[in-house]
Structure 1
Amino acid sequence: MIWLTWRQFRTQAVVALAALAALATYLVILGYQMRNAYATDIVGCQPADCVSARRDFADAYEVQVALIGALLIGVPALIGAFWGAPLITRELEERTDRLVWNQSITRVRWLAVKLALLILISMAVTGLYSLLLTWSASRYDELVGDRFGALAFASRNIAPIGYAAFAFLLGTVIGLLVRRTLPAMALTLVLFAVIQVFMPIALRQHLMTPVTSTVQLDEEAIERADFMGFDQNGARLDGYTMPGAWSLTSTSRVFNADGTPYTTEQTEQCRQSDRQTAMACTARQNLHFSYTYQPADRYWRFQWIELSAFLGLALLLTGFGLWRIRTYSS
């Protein structure tokens, strides 16, 4: 049974290995390029030049890292559509199901062997790709520090392995229910894309209870914000991000030490022509703001939670598929 499964799958396996080899070559070259640039331009840079050096480094590799990360996010979807969806529909459309399901091997065992082998291959291919990308982009991730970002989180470390297993089982079960290859492939791609969008936008941040704390508005906090402005309700701070954390607050209200809003009138004493002097003056006013976030040290817990969740969903789909095929009638 394993031999038969391999014979049916060998073309896809060869294509996947060739693509992985090409990607591995590119990622190794890109990784060494970023390491050399990091060692030359970032390590030991003069304080006056570090900001521009970091910006130039990020600009030079941002597009490449984003594209290769987006491609990795697409790999589980392709596995589900091109490996999972045709697994059963191919037999149904070619009418070979009447032959293979009436042998000494039961249809449940037939499907179980196929699923076991192909899930392992799917997870291995995606895991190797993720490992290579994680290594290659490590210097970029260290500099940019956006590990919780939707694209970065879903294309690094162990979470993509769970996506691959789930996507493959999703395609297989949809194919078993729809019975036609092309509709099953299309539906798999759509459903998996919806889940991948829904997860970071609506669900991931609630996997663990966020932390809300009061942050002192010092010079470092001002530097880590995108903008500080005023409206009718007082001062606001936009885009502040704690180092390594996942920021769940986009705009924060700024308050005085006694809890009253920090107003435009209070900024008069800090209106300086020099930005650094103005920042230092603002920092001395003992201001603070509320900030909600997921701490940096929770990153691996989120990775394990998401991996476990998608592997759990894959197991449920496996159970449903084995039950469905046992009661299946052509």
Structure 2
Amino acid sequence: MTPITRPRLAAHHEDDTESTATPGAGFSGLIWLTWRQHRWTLLGTLVLAAVLVGWMTYLSTELTDLYHQCHDMRCPEQSPQSDRLAGTSSLVRTYSYLSRLVQYMPMLIGVFIGVPVLSREHEQRTLLLAWSQDVSPARWLWTKLSLLGLFVAAVTAAVAVTSDHLEHALANVSIGSMFQHETFLNTGMLPLAISICWFAVGVALGAAIRRTLPAVFGVIAGFIGLMLFVQLRYPTLMKPLSAWRQIGAPDDGLLDDNAMVVKGGLITNYGINYEGDELTGVYDASHRQLTSTELTRLCPPTDAPPDLSCFADNHLQQFLQYQPGSRIPDFHLIIGAGYLGLAAVALAAVWLIVRRTNLSAG
């Protein structure tokens, strides 16, 4: 690091020292500095998180109450409970809004808490003053990151626990797998791991770019890009199980409620292309894939609702690749470790950038 010349504090304007100087040296002074610089962001985050947790807790209670009203089973269609679940002012609609907020919470943390840590110091050109006190630049950096990181971890842990409870409450009363991408990212402690990751990435981008607005756009683009990549790739992080399944036969229990179908799935007349001579994904008893022409000749299309009796009578099958619900904890561990690994890389980059920062340039 470039040698630091310690200036006399009195030579600086009062406005500059207000944002960087501490009332005392050491750890207590850095706590005061961190609070002074980030207090409004921290208070706003705390209020929004409290509202989100309270709203999700209320919704979980409502969904659990419906589950008990339906005798601890999924509510039948056309029942009052089902109408309340999916009506005009439905609980499911409210859930979808809250679910989106939880999914995009890490991006907001990266933008509003992570990016300004160093980008604001560069833009206001206060690094020279901030790092020429009795605290070294490394200690200044790691203390601020620890304080803000602990705050992020505490807030997002509370959101993660409440979100996981809400997802399980909804799964009890509606059809859907806990392995679905939108649901999966909101369960376990993934919201915590992802939030820590994007907090660290936000700090790193702010340190590297040294401008708040470009760094914010970098966080947004990186978050959306990585989220889409995970959505595309996570079904095959572990090799899927495979099985042949007869179409139209009684449920064989192969797929549990939370299983994720990677390839194949339930074949109905809605999902079959009866035109042309393309392959359909339907196989005969010898596991030979049928074309649309062959399937049309064997089982002509029917009106809705689809009738699968012809498929069962002709012993038609489908090839299924799936992830059982029992693998959800393993997938949580893999994806959570990946995000935390990215956070570690980002923090290492921040440390290297700070070490090489030329303070004479501000």
Taking structure 1 as the reference length, the TM-score comes to: 0.83
Q: Deviations over 1:81-113 (max 9, x none)?
A: 111111111112222211111123221121111
CA RMSD of superposed structures (Å): 2.9
Residue number among 103, 110, 118 corresponding to 2:140 in the alignment: 110
Conserved in 1, the CA contact under 8 Å of 2:167 and 2:183?
A: no
Residue number among 16, 31, 37 corresponding to 2:60 in the alignment: 31
Residue matched to 1:122: 152
Q: Deviations over 1:148-182 (max 9, x none)?
A: 22211112221111111110111111111111112
Q: Deviations over 1:232-259 (max 9, x none)?
A: xxxxxxxx97632111125762222223
Residue matched to 1:243: 257
* 2:184 counterpart of 1:156: no
Cα deviation for residue 119 of structure 1 reads 1.6
Unaligned runs of 5+ in 1: 225-239
SS of the equivalent of 1:293 reads strand
Residue matched to 1:50: 76
Flag the structure with larger Rg: 2
Identity of aligned residues (%): 25
Higher mean C-alpha displacement, 13-22 vs 308-317? 13-22
Cα deviation for residue 66 of structure 1 reads 1.4
* 2:334 counterpart of 1:297: no
SS of the equivalent of 1:209 reads coil
Residue matched to 2:357: 328
* 2:254 counterpart of 1:196: no
Q: How does 1:120-269 map to 2 (within 5 A)?
A: 120-142=150-172, 143-201=174-232, 203-220=233-250, 243-249=257-263, 253-260=281-288, 261=290, 263-267=295-299
CA distance in 1, matches of 2:98, 2:321: 31
SS of the equivalent of 1:156 reads coil
SS of the equivalent of 2:321 reads strand
SS of the equivalent of 2:319 reads strand
Cα deviation for residue 79 of structure 1 reads 0.5
Cα deviation for residue 77 of structure 1 reads 0.3
How many residues matched?
307
- Aligned AA (1:266): L
CA distance in 2, matches of 1:175, 1:148: 34
CA distance in 1, matches of 2:71, 2:245: 29
CA distance in 2, matches of 1:141, 1:301: 20
Cα deviation for residue 219 of structure 1 reads 3.6
Q: Deviations over 1:208-252 (max 9, x none)?
A: 112222112244469x9xxxxxxxxxxxxxxx9763211112576
SS of the equivalent of 1:248 reads strand
| Cα separation, partners in 2 of 1:217 and 1:52, compared to 1, 3 Å | farther
Higher mean C-alpha displacement, 83-92 vs 143-152? 143-152
Conserved in 2, the CA contact under 8 Å of 1:58 and 1:140?
A: no
* 2:53 counterpart of 1:14: no
Residue matched to 1:227: none
Unaligned runs of 5+ in 2: 1-29, 266-279
Cα deviation for residue 44 of structure 1 reads 6.2
Conserved in 2, the CA contact under 8 Å of 1:127 and 1:161?
A: yes
Residue matched to 2:272: none
Residue number among 310, 317, 321 corresponding to 1:288 in the alignment: 317
Residue matched to 2:107: 77
CA distance in 2, matches of 1:78, 1:274: 45
Taking structure 2 as the reference length, the TM-score comes to: 0.76
Cα deviation for residue 52 of structure 1 reads 4.3
CA distance in 2, matches of 1:120, 1:139: 29
Residue matched to 2:25: none
| Cα separation, partners in 2 of 1:110 and 1:125, compared to 1, 3 Å | same
Residue number among 128, 144, 163 corresponding to 1:98 in the alignment: 128
CA distance in 1, matches of 2:50, 2:241: 42
More helix by share: 1
Residue matched to 1:231: none
